[in-house]
Amino acid sequence: MLPVGPVGPVRVYVCGITPYAVTHLGHASTFVWTDLAARVLRGAGHQVQLARNVTDVDEALFAAALRQGRPYDELAALARFSFDRTMTALRVRVPEHEPVARRQVDRVVQLATALLVRGAGRAGRGDRDEAVAGVRRHPAGPG
């Protein structure tokens, strides 16, 4: 292993789950390896800040909720509970930061709108409007 010289805090981001089904080995391995890397860095004396998002606003989640006949947020809560239990059983540490997508929808819409207004983005094929409408009006989704 190559020695890692002094650095500031190490910030690690790992794409988290979309909570609509039971976690499988493919999901778990991502978080086990990320946790292992963070532990190695901590063991070498580095301060590590780990972030893992939860994408609880997603077409796959909405579709699964419709198939099961339950509200999307209920399905997300159950799947996330199962995920957290699995991570605990695998001794994966809870990340320092775990942002939840549903809580950020309005901020994402504001950012996308600001980028469009400034000419720094484009809304090809109406994707932005469809995405916003899909989150707010989806039969299994919010609103």
> Residues 9, 47: contact at Cβ < 8 Å?
yes
Instruction: Give the pLDDT of residue 4.
Output: 59
> Residues 32, 75: contact at Cβ < 8 Å?
no
Supply the pTM of this predicted model.
Answer: 0.74
Q: Write the CA distances from 123 to 48, 102, 130, 138, integer angstroms.
A: 37, 21, 10, 20
| Phi, psi torsion values for 12, nearest 5 degrees | -120, 130
Instruction: Give the pLDDT of residue 98.
Output: 94
Instruction: Give the pLDDT of residue 72.
Output: 92
List, for residues 97-143, the tens digit of each pLDDT value. Answer: 999 998 988 988 898 888 888 888 777 665 444 444 444 444 555 54
Rounded to an integer, what distance in angstroms lies between the CA atom of residue 21 and that of residue 60? 10
Rounded to an integer, what distance in angstroms lies between the CA atom of residue 52 and that of residue 32? 12
Rg (C-alpha) for the chain, rounded Å, is: 18
Instruction: Give the pLDDT of residue 119.
Output: 83
Query: 17 has which bridge partners?
Result: 54
CATH tag, 10-102: 3.40.50.620
